[in-house]
């Protein structure tokens, strides 16, 4: 046994070494890709995940797999969590967490504008399962307080929120939830990553990531993860992984492990380049507004400084005649890809028209719609600033603007 470190590892060391170990048989230094579905126990062990007795080894890949486990241990270490459960995608993680934790008649409060997949899931699928859902503006703690019911079991925050980069105060909302006996505070921290924000330290119970984005970082593997307390994650493993079955493939875990190792240095570069691009856009005559948490012009810049140790690489901007600009982007961009998704080494941009996203996903009306339009107007360009040279990204944008 080697000596344990004399003080806790820094985040860069954790990103590289946490969860990983030298293979005891081959002495391989990099994580092994273990594709085996079943494992030969050294004793007569239980026959299901619920009946495994004291046997701690691997039994079946839907319960746990050695490559996925290394990623889970790394993610837990990065978030300062006791445990982690990986899923096949961010949406599998969201569904696993919501349906794994809530029962018919329970009430969920969730950001009124957030990732569209989540927005559609909670509005269309959950009511069908007998769950009550209230989409509210979670950037306003008073609005959250007003929505709390006796059966509110979960508060779901996404910050910064897709696609308008609106922030929610995790510490204030966690405190509010505690005071009202809401059992689960969940933070979808996909845009922030553990490099910017560690929600558990601010009072949250669960943190959710789409690993497809910054943590994998290279646009070649879908994945999702939930971190939290050991007993909660063990229950999630039994219910949502073992029974619902949407677990992460070992191959994707292996790719995401490699991506996660460079997360801290990538996030630093994403932030630096995003700041340059945000400043370029903010002074461009054809751009109306830029929303980037790192800019003093962001309506919640003070909260961003308090809650985010890194401003990440996501920004949103509005411009005159969005549809025509989107068309020029599709036809003319060289460096930046006109494509959905985010957090990859490549820069990605996409046009999100307000009317269309209201119909398909958010369905906001009245004041809520006015709040959204105050950010987005007729539509936003969601821009995931990649790791290319800032000058090349700005030149590419300039030729289409
Ligand atoms: C992409 C995304 C998801 C869904 O993740 P997938 O891996 O695509 O299933 C959830 N939340 C946020 C904030 C996202 O950006």
The atom number, within ligand 1, closest to the CA of 93 reads 9
Pair of tokens at residue 356: 């269309």
Same domain, residue pair 124 and 204: yes
Q: Which of 203, 231, 261 is the last residue of a domain?
A: 261
CA of 247 to the centre of ligand 1 (A): 15
Whether residue 167 is contained in a domain is answered as yes
CA of 374 to the centre of ligand 1 (A): 24
Q: Which among 87, 212, 348 is the best mutation to test ligand 1's pocket, defined by most ligand atoms within 8 Å of the CB?
A: 212
What CATH code is carried by the domain that includes residue 353? 3.90.1150.10
CA of 210 to the centre of ligand 1 (A): 5
Name the closest-CA residue to atom 1, ligand 1: 210
CA of 256 to the centre of ligand 1 (A): 15
Domain that holds residue 184: 11-261
Determine if residue 94 is left, alpha or beta; phi over 0 gives left, psi from -120 to 50 gives alpha, anything else beta.
alpha
- As for how many domains the chain has, the answer is 2
Same domain, residue pair 316 and 227: no
- What are the CA-CA distances from residue 366 to residues 43, 116, 178, 369, 371 (Å)? 64, 20, 30, 5, 9
CA of 115 to the centre of ligand 1 (A): 7
Same domain, residue pair 148 and 87: yes
The atom number, within ligand 1, closest to the CA of 341 reads 1
pLDDT tens-digit profile, the chain (401 residues): 678 788 899 999 999 999 999 999 999 999 999 999 999 998 888 888 888 778 889 999 999 999 999 999 999 999 999 999 999 999 999 999 999 999 999 999 999 999 999 999 999 999 999 999 999 999 999 999 999 999 999 999 999 999 999 999 999 999 999 999 999 999 999 999 999 999 999 999 999 999 999 999 999 999 999 999 999 999 999 999 999 999 999 999 999 999 999 999 999 999 999 999 999 999 999 999 999 999 999 999 999 999 999 999 999 999 999 999 999 999 999 999 999 999 999 999 999 999 999 999 999 999 999 999 999 999 999 999 999 999 999 999 999 99
CA of 205 to the centre of ligand 1 (A): 19
Same domain, residue pair 84 and 186: yes
Same domain, residue pair 241 and 346: no
Same domain, residue pair 243 and 329: no
Cα separation, 318 vs 377, whole angstroms: 7
**Taking CB atoms and a 6 Å cutoff, what residues make up the pocket around ligand 1?**
89-91, 115, 117-118, 158, 162, 188, 190-191, 210, 212-213, 222, 224
Q: Which of 229, 261, 293 is the last residue of a domain?
A: 261
Same domain, residue pair 55 and 24: yes
Q: Which of 242, 261, 280 is the last residue of a domain?
A: 261
CB 400 within 8 A of CB 354: no
**pTM beyond 0.85:** yes
């Amino acid at each position: 046994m080697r000596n344990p470190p004399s003080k806790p590892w820094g985040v860069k060391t954790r990103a590289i070494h946490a969860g990983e170990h030298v293979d005891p048989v081959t002495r391989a230094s990099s994580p092994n890709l273990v594709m085996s579905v079943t494992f030969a126990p050294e004793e007569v062990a239980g026959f299901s995940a619920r009946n495994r007795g004291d046997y701690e080894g691997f039994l079946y890949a839907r319960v746990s797999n050695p490559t996925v486990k290394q990623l889970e241990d790394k993610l837990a270490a990065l978030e300062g969590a006791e445990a982690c459960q990986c899923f096949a995608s961010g949406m599998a993680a969201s569904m696993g967490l919501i349906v794994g934790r809530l029962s018919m008649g329970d009430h969920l409060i969730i950001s009124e504008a957030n990732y569209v997949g989540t927005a559609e899931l909670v509005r269309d699928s959950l009511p069908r399962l007998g769950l009550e859902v209230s989409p509210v503006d979670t950037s306003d703690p008073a609005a959250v307080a007003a929505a709390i019911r006796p059966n509110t079991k979960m508060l779901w925050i996404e910050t910064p929120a897709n696609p308008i980069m609106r922030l929610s105060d995790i510490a204030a909302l966690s405190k509010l939830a505690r005071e009202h006996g809401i059992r689960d505070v969940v933070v979808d921290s996909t845009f922030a990553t553990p490099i910017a924000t560690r929600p558990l330290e601010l009072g949250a119970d669960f943190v959710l990531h789409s690993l497809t984005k910054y943590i994998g970082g290279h646009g070649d593997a879908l994945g999702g993860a939930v971190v939290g307390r050991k007993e909660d994650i063990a229950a999630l493993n039994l219910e949502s992984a073992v029974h619902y079955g949407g677990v992460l493939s070992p191959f994707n875990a292996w790719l995401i492990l490699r991506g996660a190792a460079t997360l801290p240095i990538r996030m630093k570069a994403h932030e630096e380049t995003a700041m340059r691009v945000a400043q370029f856009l903010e002074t461009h005559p054809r751009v109306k507004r830029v929303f980037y948490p790192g800019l003093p012009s962001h309506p919640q810049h003070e909260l961003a400084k308090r809650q985010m140790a890194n401003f990440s690489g996501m920004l949103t901007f509005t411009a005159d005649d969005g549809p025509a600009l989107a068309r020029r982007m599709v036809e003319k961009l060289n460096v930046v890809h006109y494509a959905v998704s985010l957090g990859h080494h490549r820069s990605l941009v996409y046009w999100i028209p307000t009317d269309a996203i209201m119909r398909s996903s958010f369905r906001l009306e009245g004041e809520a719609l006015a709040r959204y339009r105050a950010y987005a107007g007729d539509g936003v360009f969601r821009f995931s600033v990649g790791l290319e040279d800032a000058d090349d990204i700005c030149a590419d944008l300039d030729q289409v603007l």
